[in-house]
Chains A and B, each alone.
Chain A
Amino acid sequence: MAAMRARNKIRAPRRGFASAKTDDFDSSWKVLSASLTEINTKNASALSFEEIYRSAYRIVLMMRGDDLYEKVKALEEDWLRNNVQKQVTESISASLTRSQGMVEMQDQSNERRAAGERFLGALKARWEDHQLCMGMITDVLMYMDRIISADRTKPSIYVVAMALFRDNVLRAAARPEADPTVYDVLESTILFMIQLERNGHIIERPLVRHCIQMLEGLYENMTEEESSKLYLSVFEPSFLRTSTEFYQGEGRRLIEIGDATTFCRVTSQRISEEQERCRYTLSSMTEPKILHILDEELIRKNIEEVVQLEGTGVRHMLDHGQLDGLRSVYQLNARVDPKKEALIKVVNKRIIEHGKEINASALTSAQGQALSGKSAEDGKKGEKGEKGEKGEKPKEKPVNQQTVSAIQWVDDILALKRQFDTVWETSFLSDQGLQSSIMASFADFININPRSSEYLSLFFDENLKKGIKGKTENEIDALLDNGITLLRYIKDKDLFETYYKKHLSRRLLMKRASSMDAERQMISKMKLEVGNQFTQRIENMFKDMTISEDLSAGYKAHATQTADPDQKRIDLDINVLTSTMWPVEMMTNTKDGQVQLPCNFPKEIESLKQSFEKFYMSKHSGRKLSWQAGMGTADIRATFRRANGKTQRYELNVSTYALIILLLFNDLPDGESYTFEEIQARTRIPNNDLIRNLQSLAVAPKTRVLKKEPMSKDVKPTDQFSFNSDFQSQFVKVRIGVVSGGSNKAENQDQRKDTEKKINEERGSTIEAAIVRIMKQRKKLIHSQLMTEVLAQLSARFVPDVNMVKRRIESLIDREYLERVGEEPPTYGYVA
């Protein structure tokens, strides 16, 4: 190798190897220009690339590259001006340059369209030729480009040629001495085509697309930045401008039609049309812009009006279950407003309207009932005879109508809720914001009804009492869940708790609960929903029931051991209830302020009572038992001596009070009677309970164990009662229900006032407890902070009245739990 290298010197390249004859610039240029013209006229196949390239190469090597550049530029300009421009302007027919009114006659628009297509076609062909030729020329002049563009700040010959096309073809006057340029004609033609397409005609998209591509391929300046594309700088703005005008008109037109469904349909259609147009006819760069115009002009400016359109708007859709329509409204609104305010407003309004209707109908049915009750009462004072009235009527529907309306209320709300849930799921695509606003609307109207808590509790009561029979576990579950949903909306949960406890206690003591499982399920559901504290007392009620069962069994065993074998024993089932957990006041019906003496039990019962008390005290010393006869029942065996000497035995199931009353008559000789006042004096049964029991014993047609003189529906103090030995019944066992005692119904006005008062008292102490808790922890707190904390703590149970909280603070200060520490701002301190 070394030897080889020594021999072979570096050879100088041979210069001018082909020929020195064509060395001079002019002859090279001659060859070149002839070739370029050939290329322009599309006769390239006869040319040798190598030859042209070599010519250009040589010229550049001769350092005449700049001259070549200029010459080529001039050549192209000349070509464009003299040939291409003419071809293009020739293709412009008169109809294209005419003034452009959008309202044109059909035939005229057809003519214009045909002319436009011709023009676009010609322009497109010229453009493509130019592109191709310039591609070839650039290739051929590659060497020149490389040297010139790299060394100096000159744009490549291709860029220059494109700019030449722009200036000499597009910006040439469409006709001599006339104003519009070719570009103007192009733009108006394309816009016209688009307009045609928007009006439902079919246009030749590829043609338009090509022209758009041309505009995309041309730039305002030589640097060819993305933003200086002719398409973006000139065409797109005017396209967007005309689109804005068009859609403004379209919006007005659609509003005038006044059909929300049409609006939605057309709008969605327009959106996809424009998307498609951008994709296939114009440029995808325009898509977001044109969609923005659609959103702005067509949707945002009109959506509110559309949503509220009378007869076809959202309200109509909601009422007629037009889920598809709602979905498109939702989608359109979502496009322009992430909060969908327009839609939400109407939906909420409609929910509240529905809700108010439900409230109103519940109220009217309840009031109608109350009125009829009152009128039937005629002059009877003191007592609200409503309940007695209803139960007494031998109607098919013994349930208090108010209760029915309460349950109806809940059912209606649930139905409404279901309706909106479906709408929400299928039409609003489970939108979070809408859900919360729908929930808020529900909560609003539910809380407008002051009796919502009571109604809801009644609903549970109804379903837990008998509704559950014959239903599967899943159905029960669903039912309870529905109720729980409503519970979520109720603000005054403590009120609900009160009612629920009251109704529950009735169910438990009267053994009306049809399924303990369901009750427990209910409690656990409530616990999940509202919290532990809420259900604590209710759970304690259940605990009392179980303890009582054990206790009764224990007492029975105890009694059998100790009792006098010859004395007839009375079976006792007893429920010992913790008075703080149970709504005892509600069961006893005491009037406030009045001290109710315990009633007189007959001696049999009295001894039993004492025996149990002894038994109980032996187990739990230091407890006080108070007897609530009002809630008990008794089974007695009654013997009726007929006038003909025969005897007939019946087993009567009566309330404890009725038992006491009936036992009175045991000591009474046949045929004699007691007056009402006498019975009252002997038994000391509370007045209204006595009336109710006497009504069921002496007035109710099927259970007339007592005779009443005079025979009337009402019980007056002077009425005479005697034993009815002719009592007849087709059954051996007769149940004598106490009027109204048994079932849970809606409260009347007085009861409601009572409940409210109690609730307020209870709230007062809850508020105080909260205040003390907070102050104990903080020691010192500004008034406003204390308020917020109290409100926050209590809001789970009820919405405290601010004034009430203030009063409680005052009262705590008076009682020296708190003290005022500062005035500005008002501050409290905790007094330990």
Chain B
Amino acid sequence: MTAHRPRDGRLPAEDRRLRDLHDSTRSNIMASTPSEYVTLVSCDGFEFILPRSAACVSGTIRRMLDPSSKFSEALTGRCVLETLTGIVLEKVCEYLLYNEKHKDQANVPDMDIPPELCLELLMAADYLDT
């Protein structure tokens, strides 16, 4: 998954497609079974749609989405993370998926962390409890 800088407020096609898919299932969320996918939104408006299981690697997000506590995030499946910029959140999402993919495996390839992001990523990790 990649994020793009917003060009004229338009989202890249892929993201939009995914979001449409997400929107179409939103009615289901409201019913009872939580949807497979959740949306993470950065403070500057980027949206990332990823599997719930991947997102819940983060303790904060997991609690945020916990269906038994009826916060608005849990109800909508949409988390607006005011502390994270799109760039950081993109990397975070990459990590979440990376973690999901290599779960229970040994000798996984290292993830590429751009050095200029690492401090912000550290803070994000602290915030998200991952």
List chain A positions with a Cβ less than 8 A from chain B.
5, 8-14, 17-18, 44-51, 53-54, 57, 132, 135-136, 139-140, 142-143, 146
Please state if B83 and A10 are interface contacts (CB–CB under 8 Å): no
Please state if B116 and A10 are interface contacts (CB–CB under 8 Å): yes
**Contacting residues, chain B, for A13 (C-beta < 8 A):** 119-120, 123
Q: How far is the CA of A710 from the CA of B75 in the complex (A)?
A: 129
Residues in B55-72 with C-beta less than 8 Å from chain A: 59-60, 63-64, 66, 68-72
CB nearest to A51 among chain B residues: B82
Q: How far is the CA of A139 from the CA of B119 in the complex (A)?
A: 25
**Contacting residues, chain B, for A49 (C-beta < 8 A):** 63-64, 69, 71-74, 79
Q: How far is the CA of A45 from the CA of B69 in the complex (A)?
A: 9
Residues in B106-125 with C-beta less than 8 Å from chain A: 114-120, 123
CB nearest to B59 among chain A residues: A142
Give chain B nearest CB distance to A162 CB in angstroms.
17
**Contacting residues, chain A, for B115 (C-beta < 8 A):** 5, 8, 10
**Contacting residues, chain A, for B119 (C-beta < 8 A):** 10-13
Q: Is B80 part of the binding interface, using a Cβ–Cβ cutoff of 8 Å?
A: yes
Q: How far is the CA of A44 from the CA of B64 in the complex (A)?
A: 12
**Contacting residues, chain B, for A44 (C-beta < 8 A):** 69-71
Please state if A48 and B71 are interface contacts (CB–CB under 8 Å): yes
Q: Is B23 part of the binding interface, using a Cβ–Cβ cutoff of 8 Å?
A: no
Please state if B73 and A48 are interface contacts (CB–CB under 8 Å): yes
* Of B72, B116, B120, B127, the contact of A48 (CB 8 Å cutoff): B72
Q: Is B21 part of the binding interface, using a Cβ–Cβ cutoff of 8 Å?
A: no
Q: Is B99 part of the binding interface, using a Cβ–Cβ cutoff of 8 Å?
A: no
Q: Is B85 part of the binding interface, using a Cβ–Cβ cutoff of 8 Å?
A: yes
**Contacting residues, chain A, for B68 (C-beta < 8 A):** 132, 135
Q: How far is the CA of A11 from the CA of B70 in the complex (A)?
A: 37
The A interface, classified by DSSP as helix, strand, loop or mixed, is helix
Please state if A17 and B114 are interface contacts (CB–CB under 8 Å): no
Q: How far is the CA of A543 from the CA of B70 in the complex (A)?
A: 100
Q: Is B43 part of the binding interface, using a Cβ–Cβ cutoff of 8 Å?
A: yes
Interface residues contributed by chain B, number (CB under 8 Å):
30
Q: List 21 A-B contacts (CB under 8 A).
A: A11-B116, A11-B120, A17-B85, A18-B82, A18-B83, A44-B69, A45-B75, A48-B73, A49-B63, A49-B69, A49-B71, A49-B74, A50-B73, A50-B79, A53-B60, A54-B83, A132-B69, A135-B69, A136-B69, A139-B64, A140-B63
* Of B71, B73, B74, B114, the contact of A8 (CB 8 Å cutoff): B114
Q: Is B81 part of the binding interface, using a Cβ–Cβ cutoff of 8 Å?
A: yes
CB nearest to B127 among chain A residues: A57
Q: How far is the CA of A136 from the CA of B64 in the complex (A)?
A: 9
CB nearest to A52 among chain B residues: B71
* Of B71, B85, B116, the contact of A9 (CB 8 Å cutoff): B116
Please state if B116 and A146 are interface contacts (CB–CB under 8 Å): no
List chain B positions with a Cβ less than 8 A from chain A.
43, 59-60, 63-64, 66, 68-75, 79-83, 85, 114-120, 123, 127, 129
Give chain A nearest CB distance to B130 CB in angstroms.
12
Q: How far is the CA of A318 from the CA of B66 in the complex (A)?
A: 65
Q: How far is the CA of A54 from the CA of B118 in the complex (A)?
A: 21
Give chain B nearest CB distance to A311 CB in angstroms.
62
Instruction: Given the known inter-chain contacts A17-B83, A49-B72, A50-B81, please indicate yes or no for A139 contacting B116, CB distance below 8 A.
Output: no
Q: How far is the CA of A174 from the CA of B116 in the complex (A)?
A: 62
**Contacting residues, chain B, for A50 (C-beta < 8 A):** 64, 73, 79-82
Instruction: Given the known inter-chain contacts A11-B119, A50-B64, A50-B79, please indicate yes or no for A18 contacting B43, CB distance below 8 A.
Output: yes
**Contacting residues, chain A, for B116 (C-beta < 8 A):** 8-11
**Contacting residues, chain B, for A17 (C-beta < 8 A):** 43, 83, 85
Please state if B63 and A142 are interface contacts (CB–CB under 8 Å): yes
Instruction: Given the known inter-chain contacts A11-B117, A17-B85, A50-B81, please indicate yes or no for A45 contacting B70, CB distance below 8 A.
Output: yes
Not counting A45-B70, A45-B75, A57-B127, a sample of 18 additional A-B residue pairs whose C-beta atoms are within 8 angstroms of each other reads: A10-B116, A13-B123, A14-B120, A18-B82, A18-B83, A44-B70, A49-B64, A49-B71, A49-B74, A50-B82, A51-B82, A53-B60, A54-B82, A57-B83, A132-B69, A135-B68, A136-B71, A139-B66
**Contacting residues, chain A, for B85 (C-beta < 8 A):** 17
Q: How far is the CA of A11 from the CA of B81 in the complex (A)?
A: 20
**Contacting residues, chain A, for B117 (C-beta < 8 A):** 11
Give chain B nearest CB distance to A60 CB in angstroms.
10
**Contacting residues, chain B, for A11 (C-beta < 8 A):** 116-117, 119-120
CB nearest to B72 among chain A residues: A48
CB nearest to A136 among chain B residues: B69
Most A CB within 10 A of own CB, among B64, B69, B129? B69
Q: How far is the CA of A399 from the CA of B114 in the complex (A)?
A: 117
Q: How far is the CA of A49 from the CA of B81 in the complex (A)?
A: 10
CB nearest to B64 among chain A residues: A49
Q: How far is the CA of A53 from the CA of B81 in the complex (A)?
A: 10
CB nearest to A7 among chain B residues: B116
Q: How far is the CA of A142 from the CA of B66 in the complex (A)?
A: 13
**Contacting residues, chain B, for A142 (C-beta < 8 A):** 59-60, 63, 129
Please state if A47 and B60 are interface contacts (CB–CB under 8 Å): no
Instruction: Given the known inter-chain contacts A50-B81, A51-B82, please indicate yes or no for A10 contacting B118, CB distance below 8 A.
Output: yes
Q: How far is the CA of A143 from the CA of B130 in the complex (A)?
A: 12
**Contacting residues, chain B, for A135 (C-beta < 8 A):** 68-69
Q: How far is the CA of A49 from the CA of B66 in the complex (A)?
A: 10
CB nearest to B80 among chain A residues: A50
**Contacting residues, chain B, for A5 (C-beta < 8 A):** 115
**Contacting residues, chain B, for A14 (C-beta < 8 A):** 120
**Contacting residues, chain A, for B118 (C-beta < 8 A):** 10
* Of A45, A54, A132, A146, the contact of B71 (CB 8 Å cutoff): A45
**Contacting residues, chain A, for B69 (C-beta < 8 A):** 44, 49, 132, 135-136, 139
Q: How far is the CA of A647 from the CA of B99 in the complex (A)?
A: 128
**Contacting residues, chain B, for A146 (C-beta < 8 A):** 129
